[in-house]
Amino acid sequence: MKQVLMPADTYIVINRTILNDHDRKLLVMLYQPIVGSTAINLYFTLWSYLDKIEIMSSVWTHHHITNNMGITLSEFISSREKLEGIGLIRTYVKKDTVNNYVYEMYSPLSANEFFSNPILSTVLYTNIGNDEYKKIKEYFKIPRINLSSYEDITSKFNEVYESTNLINVTPNDIKKKNYQKLDLISNLDLDNIISSIPEEMLNIKGITRDTKDLIIKLSFIYDFNDEQMNNIIRNSINEKHNIDKELLRNNCRHYYLFENSGKLPSIVYRNQPEYLRKPIGDTSKRAKIIYQFETTSPYDFLSSKYNGAKPTKTDLSLLEYLLIDLNLNPGVVNVLIDYVLKINNNKLTRSFVDTIAGQWKRSKIETVEDAMNIAFREYKNRTKKTTNKKIEEKPVWFDQDINTSTDSAKQKELEELLKEFR
């Protein structure tokens, strides 16, 4: 059970690393497309509360920070969890009449470490698309300078300095860059997988913690089970009987591509990027529907059409096509799915969806509100052309003045709104 956070609960910020201006670029360019602008703003705000030597902050209440940022307590918790999950902060709590929290700050990974991380690089790719991903990767590339015609005349240490008596140092007391690893709850029985491979084939003692970490990350990205990972590991052992990490990466990728008709793994559970969401403040019924489109993943939205059951493989494949191949934003996909089901007799016909999706892509539809507006215009055009035919049912969000009861519990409100979508 998660700890309940109250406005009066206090917190302090402790810096466990060294933060600099380059970290700001890393956070905005690499992390923000994944966690959203509110979470990054929270990180910057916690950073700003540190003292002059950037070690720790004074004691503050959560009412202060939410009021300062202009967000609700639930938005604060959501943003904090995103920062925790991606390894930027750690959270501790001491329970009392007023609970006391400690937020430890950690550095973002360097660009090289970020792009080498199979999970972070894949999620970034699926969130921003191929073109933007290439641009960002190009930005962080180091230019290659041909030094073949130059001679290295750099002096060695002992050529410049003389030896002297050494002093005892305690490096643990010195500030340094600290990073948080991504914590994953793995479904793999890694010990069983490794023990099932004969010792004459695999040098078990040569398996490092980093290798195990990579196996877990790759199994998470590609959703491999024990049997699949076992076979891939066996095919990734080099002549020295060690697991070749680069070969392991390639084999995982090739296996997945073969099993999924050449498609890379996608994140069908992701939501509409925060920078493309409607600003908070509007409490109208239409704004609430927009909010649900924006904060519900396409997978969960489609599941609601199945009354909570798992969507078919055909429909999931269609979601991946809309999100990955056409690179439509998740909230836009939700509107598209809802619109097509309403006007196409509750059927998601691939060719029909493709026609509308292509039009929306060419029209550069990026926000939920834009998607609802173009759907409304298209619906009006269809009804004009329909003379003797039955007029299709229109989505409920076409009407401006919808009156239904509201509920304070978010889950119940979501269920009530989704009932109207069906």
46-103 pLDDT, tens digit each: 999 999 888 999 999 999 999 999 999 989 998 999 999 999 999 999 999 999 999 9
- Does residue 261 carry a pLDDT above 80? no
**Phi, psi of 22, deg, nearest 5:** -65, -30
Q: Of 13-27, 115-129, 140-154, 240-254, which range is least confident?
A: 115-129
Each residue of 342-395: pLDDT tens digit?
888 888 888 889 999 999 999 989 899 999 999 888 888 777 666 555 555 667
* H-run or E-run covering 211: helix 209-222
- What value, to the nearest 5°, has the Cα angle with vertex 36 and ends 56 and 89? 30
DSSP characters for 271-305? ---GGGSPPTT--SHHHHHHHHHHHS-HHHHHHHH
> Which of 329 and 11 is assigned the larger pLDDT?
11
CA distance 88 to 178: 10
Which residues are bridge partners to 103 per DSSP? Answer: 13, 91
Burial classification of residue 40, based on how many CB atoms lie within 10 Å of its CB (0-12 exposed, 13-18 middle, 19 or more buried): buried
Of residues 350, 23, 321, 39, the one with CA closest to residue 177: 23
At residue 162, the 3 state secondary structure works out as coil
CA distance 273 to 330: 8
Percentage of the chain beyond pLDDT 90 is 39
Q: Find out whether 282 and 42 touch, Cβ atoms under 8 Å.
A: no
Each residue of 2-56: pLDDT tens digit?
678 999 999 999 999 999 999 999 999 999 998 989 999 999 999 999 998 889 9
- Does residue 412 carry a pLDDT above 60? no
**Phi, psi of 104, deg, nearest 5:** -95, 130
Average pLDDT, whole number, for the chain?
83
pLDDT band for position 281 (50/70/90)?
A: low
